Amino acid sequence: MASIHKLLIGTYIHRNFLRPRAAVPPFVGNHFVDYSSSSLQKQVASANKVSQQGKTEEGLQGHDHKEVALDVPSPDRTPEVSFDKAIRDEAMEHFRRLKDEIVAHVRGPDGRPLHEVIMEQARVVWQFREKEDLDKWILTSDKTIGGRSEIFLKMSKNNRSALLYGTLSSEAPQDGESNQSGYCAMISRIPRGAFERKLSYDWSQFNTLYLRVRGDGRPWMVNIKQDTEFIQRKNQMYSYFMFTRGGPYWQEVKIPFSKFFFSNQGRIRDVQGPLILDKISSIGFTLSDKVDGPFFLEIDFIGVFTDPAHTEEFAYENSPDLNPRLFK
């Protein structure tokens, strides 16, 4: 009876480990204006997208599947011992992470001394120097919903920057309800702590996003998602454009956080407010400019910094025609 219980627990953990959670749905399309009669269709499409992206993530984790399969011994040899060992190792790993987090918390915010954090003016959030840095990102395109776009991510030839490349195709999938399609997106994973707790970035003391990129002249969308516990908010994000110049020179893109506008499911909302920077969960890049063909984008690093010359709080004031209740 006890061994059966252990088997069940082991199986549950095994299944949980093998199947990661669904990816965050990306920003779809550059539509700017909302229309409520089409929201039902978009929600249905979004639901399909979420489920299929889960499958895609399983595909993305195929390598982990193989590793796990190799690590798991054959069922002929003492499965109870292997399950116990796996459970114990996993628990010890999580407790070790918890200990590291507690020690870092005692030392200061983010594990650094307080005076260093207070006087910090620039911070590198994402960099691409090893292959492990690429695992922090999720790739998705409309191939998951039946389109023909594809996107890949790898290290550049010099092994010091990330190369995002693929093909964009605006051919709509033949599912009977989509008449526009064509997007490629790269989203950062939500940072996780001990026991798979959700963490977030705190960028309260900075006011500008900095990207060092090299592109091919195509415009991209930069999307920032906040950390929120509500299911209804999972499609809300703040977006802005990143225009790449093209050519062999590196380009420094500086986007103030005041320029990001609030959008939901790819539509700009009527009520706009500034981006709150204390709980940022992920950042994403979306290409959907309705131009079919190959694309590439090289990314050196992504950071945030304080621009003392930029004092704007929010760039988009609300309109009394669209939001009369805000002006009563």
Partner 1 sequence: MSWVQVNLLARGLSRGWGSICRTVLSGTPFAQPSLQARGLHCSAVTHKDDVWLVPRPSEPQKKPIKVPAMHEDLFRPSGNGEQDKASFLNAVRSFGEHNVRKRGHVDFIYLALRKMPEFGVERDLSVYNLLLDVFPKEVFRPRNAIQRIFVHYPRQQECGVAVLEQMERHGVMPNTETEFLLIQVFGHKSYPMLKFLRMKLWFTRFKNINPYPVPRDLPQDPLDLAKLGLRHMEPDLSAKVTVYQMSLPSESTGIEDPTQPHIVGIQSPDQQAALARHNPSRPVFVEGPFPLWLRNKCVYYHILRADLPPPEEETVEEIPEEWNLYYPMQLDLEYSRSAWDNYEFDMDEVTEGPVFAMCMTGAHDQATLVKWIQGLQETNPTLAQIPVVFRLARSTGELLATTRLEGQSPPHSPPKGPEEDDEAIQAQQRQGQS
Question: What are the φ and ψ backbone dihedral angles of 62, each rounded to 5 degrees?
Answer: -60, -35
Residue 65 CB contacts under 8 Å (≥ 6 apart), including other chains: 18
How is residue 260 written in tokens?
A: 């990001």
Q: Does 314 bind partner 1 (CB under 8 A)?
A: no
Compute how many other C-beta atoms are within 10 angstroms of the C-beta atom of residue 152: 13
For the window 267-296, what string marks contact with partner 1 as x by the rule CB under 8 A?
Answer: -x-x-------------------xxxxxxx
Whole-number minimum distance, CB 14 to partner 1, in Å? 37
CA 54 to chain centre: 14
User: Judged by CB under 8 A, which stretch of 35-43, 73-81, 191-199, 275-283 contacts partner 1?
Assistant: 35-43
Cα separation, 51 vs 189, in Å, equals 17
Residue 134 has, within 13 A of its CA and on its CB side, a CA count of 16
Q: Does 157 bind partner 1 (CB under 8 A)?
A: yes
Assess contact for 139 and 186: CB atoms under 8 A. yes
| Residue numbers 219-248 binding partner 1 by CB under 8 A | 219, 241, 243, 245-248
Torsion 100-101-104-106 (CA) sign: negative
Q: Does 32 bind partner 1 (CB under 8 A)?
A: yes
User: Judged by CB under 8 A, which stretch of 11-19, 140-148, 211-219, 277-285 contacts partner 1?
Assistant: 211-219
Cα separation, 152 vs 3, in Å, equals 45
- Give the residue with the Cβ less far from partner 1, 230 or 249: 249
Q: Does 127 bind partner 1 (CB under 8 A)?
A: yes
Question: What are the φ and ψ backbone dihedral angles of 120, each rounded to 5 degrees?
Answer: -75, 135
- Give the residue with the Cβ less far from partner 1, 94 or 160: 160
Whole-number minimum distance, CB 147 to partner 1, in Å? 17
Helix (H) / strand (E) element for 91: namely helix 79-107
Cα separation, 54 vs 60, in Å, equals 10
- Give the residue with the Cβ less far from partner 1, 165 or 236: 165
Q: Does 119 bind partner 1 (CB under 8 A)?
A: yes
Q: Does 70 bind partner 1 (CB under 8 A)?
A: no
Q: Does 116 bind partner 1 (CB under 8 A)?
A: yes
Cα separation, 263 vs 269, in Å, equals 5
Q: Does 133 bind partner 1 (CB under 8 A)?
A: no
Whole-number minimum distance, CB 221 to partner 1, in Å? 12
Is the backbone of residue 160 left (phi > 0), alpha (psi -120 to 50) or beta?
Answer: alpha
Q: Given the rule CB under 8 A, which residues bind partner 1?
A: 31-37, 115-116, 119, 121-124, 127, 156-158, 160-161, 163, 165, 167, 210, 212, 214, 216-219, 241, 243, 245-250, 268, 270, 290-296, 298, 300-301, 303, 305-306, 315-316, 319, 321-322
